[in-house]
Amino acid sequence: MLCGAFIATVDARRGVAGGLWFLVQRTIAASVCPLVDRRLRRLPFPVQFRRRLELLGPTYIKLGQILSLREDLLPPSVTDELKNLLDSLPVVSFERLQPIIVADLGGPLDAAFAWVDPQPIASASIAQTHRAITVAGDEVILKVVKPGIRETLRRDAILLRVFAWLLQIGFARYQPKRVINEFAYYTGREADLRREADNAETFAANFKDAPDIVFPRIYRQYSGRDVLCMEFLDGLKPTSVEAQSLPQDVKDRLIDRGASAIIRMLYQDGFFHADLHPGNLLILAEGRCGFIDLGMVGRFDDELRRALLYYYYCLVMGDAENAARFLASVAQPGRKADVAGFRREVADISRRWALHANFRQFSLARLIMESLGRAGHFGVYFPVEMVLMVKALVTFEGVGQILKPGFDVAQVSQSHISRIFIAQFNPLRIVRETIRNAPEVVEALMKAPLLVTEGLRFLEKSARRPPENPLAGVRGAMLAGFCVVAAAIAVVFRGPWPLWGALFIVATFLALRRTS
């Protein structure tokens, strides 16, 4: 692959570069030609890379699909080409899958299913799916992990980690170790179908108050680590001809419900579908939205979710400066990072998009991805969940454009993101947040008397000791007294704002150091 990349680079410079050094490069390229597959050696490197991943098999195709999302780390020419990777793989015969199903069920197949279609409806890198009917007459989908795939993933992950360690030496900017570790983590979780069952039930619980958003019901009695039995959702793909012929008012409702569901997943629950594409969305009867293939999910902790909520809110409201501030706050600085420069760059990008006159070409997802793509130039990086978030937004925008070309994504998003934003300041939510942190609040209250006592002792000592500067003792005593009172206030109001507690503890420490 490296030889092929070198040959492609030299070929691209042919007719442009010259001189002795270029002649040496051409000589080296000619000498390594026999090492490169004849079918690939004259192709551009991104095409070579995609073809090699396809030749290496399922694990590497899955890796390529993950890499195609990392537009924040890899050049657009590579990520665009990787999006053309095979999305369907050779089918495993049902005869080979049947022992896996029987072993997971712990009994004969006909004890659970009246019929199983031997022809799969889809075959991916890790599993393939079949339609079936249970003995109770329910139409279901059977998802079965392919034989030997777990061992293949484990073996390939070890090889990829070694390769990433070598690449990290010369290509640290592209963070190969980070990407491979993310890939190994997510694919390892996808190979255990019990996690997908848990994900489906978590989504259903999060949206129990939204009957228009549907997730497949899980049949736990027919599911295990290698087999997942779930409800068959009979619906239309957004790209189908039938979906295009729906009345416009139905399409508008679908777009609004889709926006509500995705924004809620991302910025309210912090638990979202991380493998969204049009094939994983269904248009169900009565204008309901269905989500399937829930094996890959993303999670935001509360702090990250709030920061991204404020970031998205500022974007749709056209507040470029604060959008840049919130995005920079979640960046992970590397060596020689220029966070201030990155923030200025994001503000400029956001401002240009906010002033864009033609909303038919307005894409918030592309705006966010362009902002993330500039991170590497300033030595800052983002967790993979940020990229998965953008994939969800890209899918929403893409499906929205299919159903209603030229729809205003910012306008559709404003009402939903504003509702979630305002809910952050709901008194009941603040009380619940405080109750959730009750053990820490109780501990802080128990330590408060000790903190006040120690502060008063320092005040007494500083008052008795004559300072070199007559004003220094007064200033130090006043500052220490203020910090003691402030620390007590921070204990009471600590719940949803832990930063207050940390800030006043540090201030108290500095003040006491100053007076001692």
pLDDT in tens, 250-284: 999 999 999 999 999 999 999 999 888 888 899 99
Supply the pLDDT for residue 76.
Answer: 80
**Mean pLDDT across 81-105:** 86
Nearest to 69 by CA among 313, 395, 379: 395
Q: Could you tell me the CA-to-CA distances from 466 to 59, 145, 478, 510, 515 in Å, in that order?
A: 74, 78, 15, 20, 11
Residue with tokens 């079918």: 39
Q: For residue 50, what are the contacts with CB-CB under 8 A and spacing of at least 6?
A: 64, 81, 82, 84, 85
Residue 42 lies in a domain: no
User: Are residue 120 and residue 97 in the same domain, yes or no?
Assistant: yes
Q: How many angstroms separate the most distant Cα atoms in the chain?
A: 93
User: Are residue 97 and residue 184 in the same domain, yes or no?
Assistant: yes
pLDDT tens per residue, range 405-415: 877 777 888 88
pLDDT range class, residue 472, cuts 50, 70, 90: very low
User: Are residue 338 and residue 310 in the same domain, yes or no?
Assistant: yes
Q: Which two tokens stand for residue 57?
A: 């098999």
Question: What is the DSSP-derived secondary structure letter of residue 89?
Answer: -
User: Are residue 124 and residue 162 in the same domain, yes or no?
Assistant: yes
User: Are residue 450 and residue 413 in the same domain, yes or no?
Assistant: no
Q: Could you tell me the CA-to-CA distances from 4 to 58, 117, 163, 164 in Å, in that order?
A: 22, 44, 17, 19
Cα dihedral 129, 131, 137, 138 sign:
positive
Please identify, among 398, 425, 452, the residue that sits at the C-terminal boundary of a domain.
Answer: 425
Question: What is the DSSP-derived secondary structure letter of residue 213?
Answer: E
What is the rounded CA–CA span in Å between residue 152 and residue 145?
A: 12
The identity of residue 326, as a single letter, is F
pTM of the model: 0.72
Are 116 and 130 contacting, i.e. CB atoms less than 8 angstroms apart?
yes
Planar angle of CA 43, 44, 46, nearest 5 degrees: 120
Question: Which H helix or E strand runs over 145?
Answer: strand 139-145
Q: Is the pLDDT of residue 499 over 70?
A: no
Supply the pLDDT for residue 422.
Answer: 85
> How far out from the chain centre does Cα 161 lie?
21
Question: What is the DSSP-derived secondary structure letter of residue 467?
Answer: P
Residue 418 lies in a domain: yes
User: Are residue 277 and residue 409 in the same domain, yes or no?
Assistant: yes
> How far out from the chain centre does Cα 353 lie?
23
pLDDT tens per residue, range 345-357: 999 988 887 776 4
Residue 404 lies in a domain: yes
**Mean pLDDT across 381-393:** 82
Residue 15 lies in a domain: no
Select the more confidently predicted residue: 425 or 492: 425
Q: Is the pLDDT of residue 99 over 90?
A: yes
Please identify, among 232, 259, 280, the residue that sits at the C-terminal boundary of a domain.
Answer: 232
**Mean pLDDT across 167-194:** 80
Q: Which two tokens stand for residue 55?
A: 């030749």
- Per DSSP, helices labelled H in 134-247 are 149-170, 176-190, 193-206, 241-244
Question: Which phi and psi angles does 39 have, rounded to 5°?
Answer: -70, -20
**Start-to-end Cα distance in the chain:** 65
Residue 55 lies in a domain: no
Neighbouring-strand partners of residue 333? 380
Neighbouring-strand partners of residue 140? 132, 231
Question: Which H helix or E strand runs over 50?
Answer: helix 45-56
User: Are residue 410 and residue 443 in the same domain, yes or no?
Assistant: no
Lowest mean pLDDT among 89-93, 122-126, 222-226, 429-433: 429-433
Q: Is the pLDDT of residue 66 over 60?
A: yes
What is the rounded CA–CA span in Å between residue 401 and residue 404?
A: 5
Residue with tokens 């942190």: 437
Q: Which two tokens stand for residue 53?
A: 């991943």
Question: Which phi and psi angles does 134 have, rounded to 5°?
Answer: -75, 170
Q: Which two tokens stand for residue 462?
A: 């500083």
Q: Which two tokens stand for residue 172?
A: 């640290």
User: Are residue 293 and residue 400 in the same domain, yes or no?
Assistant: yes
3-class DSSP assignment, residue 251: helix
pLDDT range class, residue 424, cuts 50, 70, 90: confident
Question: What is the span of the domain harbouring residue 419?
Answer: 246-425
Lowest mean pLDDT among 122-126, 179-183, 192-196, 246-250: 179-183
Residue 76 lies in a domain: no
Q: How many domains does the chain have?
A: 3
Are 72 and 64 contacting, i.e. CB atoms less than 8 angstroms apart?
no
User: Are residue 364 and residue 483 in the same domain, yes or no?
Assistant: no
Residue 506 lies in a domain: yes
Question: Residue 25 half-sphere exposure, CB side, CA atoms within 13 Å?
Answer: 16
User: Are residue 285 and residue 418 in the same domain, yes or no?
Assistant: yes
Q: Which two tokens stand for residue 138?
A: 């329910």
Planar angle of CA 245, 248, 253, nearest 5 degrees: 115
Neighbouring-strand partners of residue 492? none
**Mean pLDDT across 165-194:** 80
Residue 71 lies in a domain: no
Please identify, among 209, 232, 255, the residue that sits at the C-terminal boundary of a domain.
Answer: 232
Are 254 and 403 contacting, i.e. CB atoms less than 8 angstroms apart?
yes
- For the CA atoms of the chain, what is the radius of gyration? 28
Report the mean per-residue pLDDT for the chain. Answer: 80
Q: Which two tokens stand for residue 169?
A: 């030496």
User: Are residue 362 and residue 451 in the same domain, yes or no?
Assistant: no
Q: Which two tokens stand for residue 498?
A: 């832990």
User: Are residue 349 and residue 460 in the same domain, yes or no?
Assistant: no
Q: Is the pLDDT of residue 102 over 90?
A: yes
Q: Which two tokens stand for residue 171?
A: 């290509």
CA quadruple 102, 292, 295, 156: dihedral, nearest 10: 80
CB-based burial label for 283 (10 Å; 0-12, 13-18, 19+):
buried
Supply the pLDDT for residue 96.
Answer: 94
